[in-house]
Amino acid sequence: MEKLGSFFSNTILTAFLLVLILGPVGIIGKISGTGPKIIRGVALGAKLNERGGTLSGLRAGEIKEISVTTFWGNQAQYKNALSLKNETEIARDYRIEILGVSGTAVEEQKIRLSFARNGQDTITLQPGETVGIDLDITAPEKDNLTRTQTTLKLAIWEN
Amino acid sequence: MISKTLLKLIDEAILPAVVLIAAKITGIAILTSYLGLDFTLNLKSLDAVSLTFVNTYSNLFSYGIIIVGLSFILIRAYFFHGSHVAPQITLRLATWNLTTVVTTTYELFHQVVVWLSYLWLLTLLFTLQNYWQLIAPQIAWGSLILTLIYTGLFIWDAEREIDIRRM
Q: Tens of pLDDT along A1-27?
A: 777 888 888 898 899 889 988 999 888
Q: Among the listed ranges A109-118, B15-24, B128-137, which one has the minimum average pLDDT value?
A: B128-137
Indicate the angle between helix axes A2-32 and B48-79, nearest 10 degrees: 140
Q: Quick one: how far is CA A134 from the chain centroid? A: 9
Measuring CA to CA, how many Å separate B139 from each of A97, A155, B31?
43, 44, 17
Q: Are B39 and B32 in contact (CB under 8 A)?
A: yes
Please write the tens of the pLDDT for every residue from B46-95. Answer: 666 677 788 888 999 999 999 999 999 998 888 877 766 677 777 777 77
What ipTM, to 2 d.p.? 0.78
CB count in 10 Å sphere of residue A139: 23
What local confidence, expressed as pLDDT, does residue A49 receive? 41
CB within 8 Å: A10 and B122: no
Which parts of chain A fold into alpha helices (H)? 2-32
The separation between the first and the last C-alpha atoms of chain B, rounded to the nearest angstrom, is 32
A132 class by beta-carbon count within 10 Å (0-12 exposed, 13-18 middle, 19+ buried):
middle
- Under a CB-based contact definition with an 8 Å cutoff, are residues A36 and A73 in contact? no
Q: Which of A10, A17, A32 sits opposite B55 (nearest CB)?
A: A32
For A51, A52, A125, B15, B109, the CA distances from A84, given in Å and listed in that order, are 15, 16, 9, 57, 66
Which of B9, B20, B48 faces A41 most closely, judged by CB atoms? B48
Residues of B with CB under 8 A from a CB of A: 1-3, 6-7, 9-10, 13-14, 16-17, 20-21, 24-25, 28, 41-44, 47-51, 55, 58-59, 62, 114, 117-118, 121-122, 125, 128-129, 132-135
Cα B159 off chain centre by: 21
Contact B6 A14 (CB under 8 A): yes
Give the mean model confidence (pLDDT) for residues B135-143: 86
Q: Cβ(A65)–Cβ(A135) under 8 Å?
A: no
When CB atoms are compared, the residue of A17, A42, A43 closest to B13 is A17
Whether residue A139 contacts residue A70, with contact meaning beta carbons closer than 8 Å, is answered with: yes
- Taking the whole predicted model, whether its pTM rises above 0.90 is answered as no
Q: How many CB atoms lie within 10 A of CB B167?
A: 4
pLDDT above 60: residue B150: yes
